[in-house]
Structure 1
């Protein structure tokens, strides 16, 4: 059976950006930025993206393109005779399933809000509306709808499904957010929102430097889809002529730009039409998006139209990420067990339907999976991939890094390999230890 591949380089970049640009950008990133000092957080975040995120991204790219396999198959193929590395890759496949178990529930919320925006049915009492629909059997039903949309794209394959969908969705996300941001920053008192979002505030650096570092590191890993094997899987469909350093840099820049665009929509909107943050939005959790921002649309001229555009962008972003999550275990079944794409997709969608329904019916479990378990698994997974790329592949990783790079990018290979072998795993292990300590 001939393995699938991307039809174009642009298709790969947009699919990888689509995986990275999810709820982590349009929901979590603006609130983390505002909470931890505006541009102070941005500086720390960008440093971590540059020094940890992009090298980690390139490590996953190297493993994927070298092996032409999913995470479990990649590590098993590149380290023959050592079964333990295959289990490290399988850990990434399991992480993807855990991620989708809560992510599909949130996706169901977005589907519901997108449809409700046409009539403004949540405008009268946004808080009560979210409290009613967030968990329970109705939430489970909309989770199924979101999961069905995700599976439909993955069923189409790499070129016919994922690449085609992301080539449409990614430009639409950027266009919708750019139009909304252009409109939002012209509204009365929008300047206060921009100041809150971007002004430099050194207090979080002085008062809680560890918290700032944890938030920036967690955001960087989550938003770049690192640690789960997404980028290993996507890079496994790549040709040898792609410059991995160039592609990784473009993906990181576009990913960050979408997060900033989202902030340029959300905060001017809240300050212009609600006078600032509400109690629901202050913590940056679900209430920020589904109560405060949704509530602001009640004051906006033609609020239904603005709300439809906003939640359309959120829905496309959520779908582009969930598609990449489902592709990981699908690729595993196709590559390692010879299962057809159709059977693999439908079977895994059935598994996630069950686990997602449990999360939709159990708020405490949902919170634990979304806030604690996934962060630990992503950090541990990326540490494993980095150690594998740096110490098991070694010179082969460097050769793969250089393949297609050329020029200045090729000269970065040696410092990249050094950082992947030493600095980055240590940084992640310390981060993992701090998170475990905070949990216990």
Structure 2
């Protein structure tokens, strides 16, 4: 069966960006920036994004393009005879399923809030009553099932149409609308009363704040955010690398993807920080920022129903574009492993993912007594911990070792593939850093994730 490729380079860049642009950019980035000191933290984050994340992005692209397969088969084709690198494919498959087991549920929450905003259900509510909206949603398994199942069925339906006519076409539209909404909301936010205080906090570096919080803690937070925002380590980007030709440099494509990913994160900060300071809300108010704090802000803002609806529509686009991208990976895994048709892989995986999303949903209501990581935690926290603190860093470490060690694919083969095409060359001068230093940094990030859990 001939492998379907993207119709354009733009389609490839947008869908890889869609894979990484999501809640990590729009909620977690502003929240963690507020927690660790604003603009000075952003500078540190951007440095680590370039020196930590982008080298691994190129490796995922290269493994996919060289093998013309997803990680379900790419390591089998590229590994030296007698080695066991191909066993890593099971970790990448599990990682993609695990991500969708809770990400589709959160996407359903965003869809629920969008319809609530459009209907005007938040108008006239007190702060406590707005908080109860979220708790009532979590306590209703039926509401969450309906919302998350809608997201899953819609995304699989788009993937069933095909790569070019379905996934690529829809992603182009959604990403274009996402950026338009983002710019509109950012302009509105910076024009709010007292917005300049939030802009100063967000854009003016104050390294004294970092010293108060703790330099080491801020650096680890910046490393972690830069590392996880690109969704590296579970083969999501490798799948799309297998669907492009060799006319353009992988380094250039990785850079464009990183720029889009970072632009969304920075613009999200331009929405959230001015709004928080304008209405006297702490910018580090934690996970409730998205579902409690911001609805309260929209509730007292002039034209808040409209702006709140646009904000949650923007969030829905960001979340569902990620879901579509990862589900395309899952569909491709099924096709590569079994040789089945796209429609059969879609049908089987649709049923499977509908069932696999249920534990996360039930963890907030009928199974809420199960608190796997300590008091106040849920099944979602466990799924996120397995993925973010284990599969992503360890998977990235596997890609690094596979592409730089002679008992893997090896530096020479990787560098040859990464250097093909027009555009920026891969930094060959950084071989020692990428081969020796970067794996140690990734291992440190993995260990720090466990240390923070025990704290």
TM-score range, shorter chain: over 0.9
Q: Is the 1:96–1:329 Cα contact (8 Å) retained in structure 2?
A: yes
2:33 equivalent in structure 1: 33
Give a deviation string over 1:38-57, Cα, whole Å, max 9, x none: 11211111111110111111
Alignment check: 8 A CA contact 1:136 1:361 kept: no
C-alpha distance in structure 1 between counterparts of 2:106 and 2:276, whole Å: 22
Q: Contact 1:73–1:89 (CA<8 Å) still a contact in 2?
A: yes
Secondary structure at 1:330 match in 2: helix
Distance 2:341 2:335 in 1: 6
Greater percentage in helix: 1
Label 1:241 to 1:215 Cα distance change in 2 as closer, same or farther (>3 A). same
Preserved contact between residue 60 and residue 385 of structure 1 (Cα < 8 Å)? yes
Q: 1:48-80 CA distances to partner (integer Å, 9 max, x unpaired)?
A: 111011111111111111111111311111115
* Distance in 2 of aligned mates of 1:371 and 1:196: 31
Could you tell me which runs of 5 or more consecutive residues in structure 1 were left unpaired when the two chains were aligned: none
Specify the alignment match of 1:313 in structure 2.
Answer: 314
Q: What's the offset of the Cα at 1:416?
A: 4.6
Helix, strand or coil for the counterpart of 1:422? helix
Deviation at 1:439, TM superposition (A): 3.1
The 2-side partners of 1:329 and 1:205 are apart by 44
Q: Which moved more, 1:344-353 or 1:249-258?
A: 344-353
Q: What's the CA shift for 1:111?
A: 0.7
Equivalent residues of 1:135, 1:360 under 8 A apart: no
| Equivalent in the alignment of 1:18 | 18
Counterpart in the other structure of 2:291 = 290
Matched, 1:383 2:388: no
Distance 1:297 1:329, change over 3 A: same
Alpha-carbon contact 1:402-1:413 (below 8 Å) kept: no
> Counterpart of 1:325?
326
Query: Given that residues 180 and 310 in structure 1 are in contact (C-alpha distance below 8 angstroms), is that contact kept between their aligned partners in structure 2?
Result: yes
Deviation at 1:417, TM superposition (A): 4.0
Change (3 A) 1:145 1:182: same
Three-state SS of the structure 1 residue aligned to 2:299 is: coil
Query: Structure 1 residue 255 and structure 2 residue 261: aligned?
Result: yes
User: Of 161, 165, 169, which residue of structure 1 is paired with 2:166?
Assistant: 161
The correspondence of residues 289-438 of structure 1 with structure 2, limited to 5 A, is: 289-363=290-364, 364-371=378-385, 373-391=387-405, 392-393=408-409, 394-405=411-422, 409-410=424-425, 412-438=426-452
Q: What TM-score, normalized to structure 2? A: 0.91
Q: CA deviation at 1:253?
A: 1.0
Secondary structure in structure 2 of the residue aligned to 1:104 = helix
Distance in 2 of aligned mates of 1:24 and 1:199: 23
Cα distance in 2 for residues equivalent to 1:326 and 1:217: 27
2: distance between equivalents of 1:66 and 1:248?
A: 16
**Quick one: distance in 1 between partners of 2:431 and 2:91?**
23
Q: Which moved more, 1:155-164 or 1:83-92?
A: 83-92
Aligned partners of 2:81, 2:453: CA distance in 1, in Å?
A: 36
Ranges of 4+ aligned residues in structure 1 off by more than 4 Å: none
Counterpart contact for 1:72–1:93, Cα < 8 Å: yes
CA change 1:113–1:401 in 2 (3 A) is same
The answer (yes or no) to whether the contact 1:154–1:323 under 8 Å persists in 2 is yes
Equivalent position of 2:240 in the other structure = 234
* Structure 2 Cα separation of the partners of residues 371 and 200 of structure 1: 31
Distance 1:214 1:339 in 2: 43
Q: Shift of the alpha carbon at 1:8?
A: 0.4
Partner residue, 2:54: 54
Deviations 1:384-408 (A, max 9, x none): 11111112222111111110045xx
In structure 2, relative to structure 1, the CA distance for the partners of 1:45 and 1:340 (3 Å cut) is same
Q: Which residue is 2:228 aligned to? A: 222
Matched residues, number: 432
State the alpha-carbon separation in 1 of the partners of residues 348 and 204 from structure 2: 48
Q: Is the 8 A contact 1:140 1:361 kept in 2?
A: no
Show the counterpart of 1:118.
118
Distance 2:299 2:453 in 1: 39
Q: Offset of 1:22 from its aligned partner?
A: 0.8
Q: Secondary structure at the match of 1:298?
A: helix
The normalised TM-score by structure 1 is: 0.94
Task: Give ranges in structure 2 of 5+ residues lacking alignment.
Answer: 365-377
Check 1:128–1:11 CA distance in 2 against 1; reply closer, same or farther (3 A cut): same
Residue by residue over 1:100-158, the C-alpha shift from the partner in whole angstroms, topping out at 9 and shown as x without a partner, is: 11111100101101111111213423211011103541212211111122212221221
Report how far residue 91 of structure 1 moved: 0.7
Structural RMSD (CA): 1.7
